[in-house]
Structure 1
Amino acid sequence: MADTAKLVCMTCGQANRVPLARLTERPICGSCGDPLITGKVAELDAATHDKATRGDDLPLLVDYWAPWCGPCRMMAPEFAKAAQTLGAKARLAKLNTEDHPTVSQRAGIRGIPALILYRKGREIARLAGARPAADIVAFVQSNTGAVPG
């Protein structure tokens, strides 16, 4: 089905198929009814992280962070701006490494904040350190060809 994209609901973890032509029309999860693409940053738990990083067809940028990390907290509003800018071209999410140490260990996180870009079940790029929104958007664009919108 080349004309659809598989998206994991960030709320319930259910996999959904969405027609590519409808990605900008705020598609909802067939299971829980929550929006699949919001232009906002989703907070992931371990199970949803694993499903989304392995199953999403759209680029998924995950911010690995911790509440005690000053640079992580400083970057949070910039990450949110990047999510708005990218819209339906990529989804942005964050995972608290303090709450989910096994996930961050499996991902090979050695310092935070760390950004890992996934697409179709594969890691395609990494970026370390706090970044402004423009750098985050440019990072996604340069690694996926996504144009904001």
Structure 2
Amino acid sequence: MRTTDMPTIVSPTETIMCHKCGALNRAPSGRALSAGKCGKCSASLATPHPVDIDDAKLSRLQARDEGTFIIDVWAPWCGPCRMMAPAYDAAATSFVDRVRLFRLNSDENQASAASLGIRGVPTLIAYRGGRQVAHQSGAQTGPALNRWISSAISLA
């Protein structure tokens, strides 16, 4: 059989926005995020720690990113937000190869908080395949947070 007669196997890909420079990258679906690097700045596509985002980055994520990510909408004055922060940091490490975790300060990014329909903080919002798949208001800690993330990222 000639090589031109071989069937072509195309791996499904998804567009993932680099959290450092904002460049859009094509990455194989289902592959560990830590295995991918941004084509522009060479940063890892994984987020081993939650990444702070602003209105512009959120807008770009919502419009162009097809990967799996979670946004924690929080406020600096919020006690439950501060209580949940260490568990959210730990979850970023636990889920580093499967999901990216972001933080959006609702006080500094009021337009985004309003467009997301945030009525209270903290609020977690999960995206997969370019669409919102889960929404959870209220603080989640430890095992409850990990269960929510696992459930949210398994939704189609």
TM-score interval, normalised by the smaller of the two chains: 0.7 to 0.9
Aligned to 2:4: none
Aligned length: 146
| 1:141 Cα deviation from its structure 2 partner | 1.8
Give me the whole-angstrom Cα distance separating, in 1, the residues matched to 2:30 and 2:154: 18
Which consecutive segments of 4 or more residues in structure 1 shift more than 3 A?
none
Residue deviations 1:20-53 (CA, integer Å, cap 9, x gap): 4653544221112222103221111111111113
- Structure 1 pair 31–121 and aligned structure 2 pair: CA distance change class (3 A): same
Q: Which is further off, 4-13 or 101-110? A: 4-13
Question: Are 2:45 and 1:39 aligned?
Answer: no
TM-score, normalised by the number of residues in structure 2: 0.84
The answer as to whether partners of 1:43 and 1:94 remain within 8 angstroms in 2 is yes
Q: Aligned-pair RMSD on alpha carbons?
A: 1.9
Percent of aligned pairs with the same residue? 35
Aligned to 1:113: 122
- Structure 1 pair 78–110 and aligned structure 2 pair: CA distance change class (3 A): same
Larger radius of gyration: 2
What amino acid maps onto 1:4 in structure 2?
T
SS at the partner of 1:88? Answer: coil
The answer as to whether partners of 1:9 and 1:36 remain within 8 angstroms in 2 is yes
SS at the partner of 1:49? Answer: helix
